[in-house]
Each structure stands twice: as C-alpha cells, then as structure tokens.
Structure 1
Amino acid sequence: MKKFRIIYRKTSLICLLILCLCLLLAAIFDLLGNVPVKKDNAKTEKKTARLVANGDILLHDILYTSARQEDGSYDFTPYFEYVKDWIDGADLAIGDYEGTICPDYPLGGYPLFNAPPEIAACMKDTGYDVVDLAHNHILDSQLAGALNTVDVFNSLGLDTIGIYKTNRAQEDFLIKDVKGIKIAILGYAYGYNGMEANLTEAEYEAHLSDLDEKEMKKEIKEAEEKADITVVMPQMGTEYALEPTDEQIKLYHKMVDWGADVVLGGHPHVVEPAEIVEKDGNRKFIIYSMGNFISNQTYERMENVWPERGLLMDLTFEKTGSQTVIKTVKAHPTLVWSWGKGEYGSEGYEYFNYRVLILEDFIEGGRHRDLLDETMQTKVDQAYQEMTELVNLQWE
C-alpha cells in the first residue's frame, strides 16, 4: 500500500508538470500570435537604376588648344556645362573617350589623338563613372599610352573598359553594382588603325579587346550568368553612314542571342537607327551608333550636318526579385554648338568656344531656348526633328 502511494504521488507530480508545461507553451504561442511577422519582400521589392551613355568624345587639336589657359593648363569644363546635370544625375554614366592621354607623346588630334590629362578630370567632374576605351585610336600613343590612359582615368576613380591592364585571361570584366542591380559592361573594337603591328602576339592578347566572336560569345555568356544586365559597346561600321552595315546587324543580333540586354554601338561618327529585339519574352535594345558627342566635325568644317550630332542614351532598369528588365529607353539628340572666340594662336587659326547641347533643352519650350539666336534656334529644331526620325525609337 505504501509502495502504491509513492507511485501515485510520482504520477501526479508528472501530470502536474505536464499540465504546467502545456499551459506555458500555450501562453508562448498566444504571445507569438500577437507579434507581427515580417513578410519576405525579397520577391516583390523593386529596384531601379538609370544609365546614360554617349558616343565619341573626340578631341581634335582645335578643341584642346581652344581650352588652353594662360598658365598652360587646359579647362574643358565649359564644353560640358549644358550636359553636366544630365550625366551627373544618372545612377551610372558611360562616356566613349576616343584617343589617348600620355605625357610621353606630343599632344595631337587626327590622325594620332593624344589629349591633355585635364580632359579626364573634366569627365570626372561632369559625372561620368565608366569610360569606354575600346576604339581604333587607343594605340595612337602605342601600348604604353593606352595603359597610361587607363591609369589616368582609374586614378580619378573612373572605371574603364576595352583595355586590360595586365592580362585579359586573368582580369575580370567590369560589373558595376548600381543600386542593387549588377550591370556588366563590355567593350570591343574592330581594329587599331594598323598600330597593333607594333605589339607582340602576347601583348595583343593580354591587353586588347577586339571583335573576336569566340571571345565575345564567351564573355557575354559569362556576363549574363554573373550580372542582372549586360551592356555591350562594340565599335564598328562605316564612317558617316546613316544606316548600319549587314555585318553590324548580324553581329549585334548575335550579341543579343549570347546574352546582351543592351548594345550601344559606336565608330561611324554619325547616329544610326535604334532597334528593339524580342528575346525570351523580354525586350532588348540596340542602337547601331550613338554618333559624336563632342568633336570638331561640325558642319562648318565638313559641310555635313550629321557628324556634329549625337545621342545621349537614357535607360532605366527594373529588378523585381531575380528578374531584371529594361523599363524605359530614351534617345536624347545632341548637337555641338561652336563659335569663334576672336582670338588667334601661334598655330595660325582661330580658337573656338564649344558646347554640347541636349536638344530638348533648346527646342521650343526648352529651358535654355533663349540662349540661342534665331539662326541657331532653326538649326536646333531641324536637328531635333531629323534625328528623332532617323533613330525611330518606338519604346512604349
């Protein structure tokens, strides 16, 4: 009987403990039920990034001599005063700088472009983040000049594409994280004006980025895997032609097939049309040539209105979860405005003022319209209309 009482007491104690535990757990669950649960917004959160890019920044000798100051330095800042807020206001800005920056070689325009280093500082101040060096003039100051050009921009915090500093096989191509969206940027040049003959095969393969389809396909496919958006900037086509060649069309479509989302073409020195390509249910974008952004190829020098015109491409990307798409695309026509200073240098020619204009700011109703005289207003209006028709961008 005593043994039974002991067992009964133990059983009762266990039951009591179980009951207390159940009450405690019930209280905990009730408490948790009143605590707000954070929802996983990773799949619904939207991220956006705005990219702008322009064509050739091509410094003919008159552009840098006109920018020379009394102390021997160069000030290119006024050239970009009307585009600075457009470029600086973007989340990522890419400029195509065509030429070299190397103090070991004389300054020069065509055919061997070599500009003062102040142009790099000006581009930094204007708001550029990336500089495209994949072009046919990058060896104008030999390989040492090309590598020094990279160093000059990099020292200011600007990334570059198109030239590899040590070894292409070992260096990663550029991927920028822009507001949570990874954007890969690749540049390729059709050739180097024969200057590559001064390089060994090993130097060529280590430093240059040309239109080798095998390498491009490999890199673009890799970029598609690593990045959310892949931007390719090829340099090819026929100079001063307003339509792309068959080779451009075929290759740029291949780039899209390989994984490019955006193809921003350059080299013809004039604008060529845009194209929208459907792939896997999403729209991809091609502009066959963005034209010149700033140069001395004005109508007064060439009797051709198109080389003084260019584009500032303006794209917005949107990422939702793991899906990233091109949300908007705009093509802003540009124009180089130049006029004589009334000053003449030892070179024997007149110096000029240069300004790059975003034409939306200067057409009827634009914020800077009143800065132009009647003749220039007519020129701006004509350029805006003709370029809009040529580009024929139908992005809704």
Structure 2
Amino acid sequence: MNQWIASKYPVQVLQPGDSIDVVKHLRQPTSLWLGFQWQAMADDEDSPLHLDVMAFGLDGSFQCKTRKDMVYWGNSNSSMDALVHCEGGKEADAQTVRLQLSRAKIVGIAAVVFVVNIRDAKARGQCLGRSVRHLTCTVYDKFGDRHREIARVSLSGPFEPQAVALEMLRLVALRGSWTATVTAKPFHCSVRQLVAQFVSNSSRRMLLKGENCHIHPETGHLVCVGLSWRLLPNLRHEALPINVLVVCLDSSGKQVGNIICPHNPRGRGIYHHNKACKAEHEAEEKDTETVELSPSAIPAAVYQILFVAIIPDRCQSKGHCFREVEEAGFRVYTRRYGGPEMEICRHEILEGLSSETAVEFLRFSRDKDGQFGMVSPSGEGLLCDATRFQKHLLDGTWLLRANCQLLRWGDRFNVTRTFPGLRTASVGV
C-alpha cells in the first residue's frame, strides 16, 4: 500500500534553500511526522558515533521560551505533547519526531527547528566532516501503518570541517499552513551553546565578553556564583583537578586578606562550597563549583572579587593546561538561605582556551553607590604557577597589560605605570 501511495503522490526532493507547503495537499492533517536517517563513516570501536535529533519549538518571536519545548532523547515530550520525540515511525528511520498541529497552535509554537547533533563530539574527537557520510530527513503524513511522504531532504558530505551539529530543516506556521525550508546550517559549538541560541529565559541575561551586569540583591539575599566546565579526555588518562580561587582586591588591584579556596573556604562575607550545586531551572545542569557571597558582610577595603580557576602546579609540570577544558562559563543567581534561586545572568567563555593554566572567569565589583553589584565576565588567563600568580596579586599586576597596543574590549590597562609622568588623559571610544 505504501508503494502505491508513493507512486500516486511522489515525494518532493528539496535542496538547501528550497521551501514547500507541507500541508497544502493533505486532507484535514492532524500531525506531521519527521523521520531521520544517516550513514556514518567507519565506526571507531573506542569512540562509536552517536547522533541525536533535537527539535526546538519556537514562538512568534522565534525563541524557545523554556527547555520543556525542546525535545530530544532526554526530554521526549514538549508542552501538551505538541512535539514528541517518539518511537513508531517509518521503518529504517533512526529517530522520529511528531508535530501535532492543533496542540502546537494552542501552546503558541509558530516554528520548529530540527537539528542533528553528534553527542559528546569534542570529547570523542568527532565532527560531521570526518564522521558522517549522509543525512536524510523526510516529512510525511501517517495513518495507521500507512504513510505518505511529502518532502525529503538528503544532504551528503563532505560537511563543513569541525561542524558538530547541523540544522537540517525549519517548519514555520503561516496563515494556517506549515512551510518547510531546508536550512543546512552548521554549528561548531558545544551543546550548551547550541541550546542557548534557541532557548531564552526572561529571568536571566546572557552576558557577552566586555559587557557588565548590574545586580541589586534584596536585603538578606545571598549572591551565588556557579562556575562550570567540562574536561576533555587526555592522552595520559589522568583526572585533571582544577581549583577555584576567590581573591579580594583593593581599589589599586592588590590582594586584600587571604585567598578563599577549597582548603580555606571561609572569608568575611564569602563561602566556598567546593561542591556542585544543581541549577533549578535546568535539571540536567550542574555547577562544577559554587561560591556564596553576603555583600553586606564583605570588608569595606575590598573593591573587587576575582574568581579564578587554576590548575595545580603538579599537573602543570606534566603539561596540563586549559586546552583540555571546554564549555567553561559561570552563572550568577540570588537566593535566601534555604530558599529558591533566581538567576540573574550567565556567561559562556566562547573563545577557546589554550596554554593557560590560570583563567579568570569573572570579577564582582562595587558599583557607583559603593555596594557590590557589578558583574564583569573575563575569560582571560595566563600560563603561570601558584607562586607567580600570588606575586601578580600582591603587586596588583594580574592580567594588566603593560602597553597600549592592540587593546581589546574588556582589557584592563595600567595607564600610570606605562606613562609615569602622565597627569591628564583623554579617552576616545
């Protein structure tokens, strides 16, 4: 029967950039089914290839409001089951997604983006160009055991070098119909960064490098900083410890008091948890390290607080560095003691880290009113051991540039040290 249907209603083969109305010739359609197939290169027995289909349900502003409206192997059903990552699709399909049209309208889904992603691509050293030969997506209508194929997208390699995910297709609701467009858009980023491009959250703000966020915690609320990263496997098969250090600086950039670290977790107004705390709004996400701040209890001599991740000297001597780290970033949130959290902002270190062994994630500074309230992401670091790092802090030279050449947005520059006789300076932006 399916062969007869295929001969009577031939499938439309689409190329990148093509669009087609996928419900125009269907009688009272209730759902659209999308089946995905792929052909991989020869599998490495030590690192088998795992591909996942992710579907993002977008609203009228083309944003996915919550992660609930993103379906994949770890979340098979969206709100009201408008999108379902399901079994029971066409034979030979590796993964299937079902879009229920009436429910999509009720929950406000105006578009759906379909992405094929390599699971743990960077950790396994895999990419589409080296690991995948062919990708196919078929849009079809299903009634019992029968189905009618409407449109098919077939993409063959070689794919873009280092791409680890590919947006194959985008469905958009328009005047009571649904249009499918082949986008074939590659992504080179981690899954977390990929999701952040589609999923929005009105309670938080994604900071760019060089951008500041001003927060105003309520009285009695803690300010919490969660730092996170993921370790890539190394050739020595050794676990790489990374310590988070919290350093207080005065207005001249010099260290005040002791460094807060896992072995010295408490300071005035600062507590280093030295453990992971789960993000409440994203159940599968955890902070690698968490630090709590009570801004009102921090000494008046402290002007800035640095959050630095450093590799221990014993590991640096073996050649370990931040080249073995990915998906580094932080989030800032407030909460009462024992109460729920409210996330304020977050930042992902998008520029790849390399030979650095000490990396500053962010600075928390006093605002114009003298209260702690300004968050500044950094993502800069140096190749230095603990002794050199300590000297930089005591001298007030940590991450300060010695000359004014090739300054970038967000850099800190010691003007008076570079120009000792300077009395007046003009700044042009």
TM-score (norm 2): 0.22
Greater helix fraction, Structure 1 or Structure 2: 1
The one of the two structures with greater contact order (alpha-carbon pairs below 8 A, sep at least 6) is 1
Q: Which has the larger radius of gyration?
A: 1
Greater strand fraction, Structure 1 or Structure 2: 2
TM-score (norm 1): 0.23
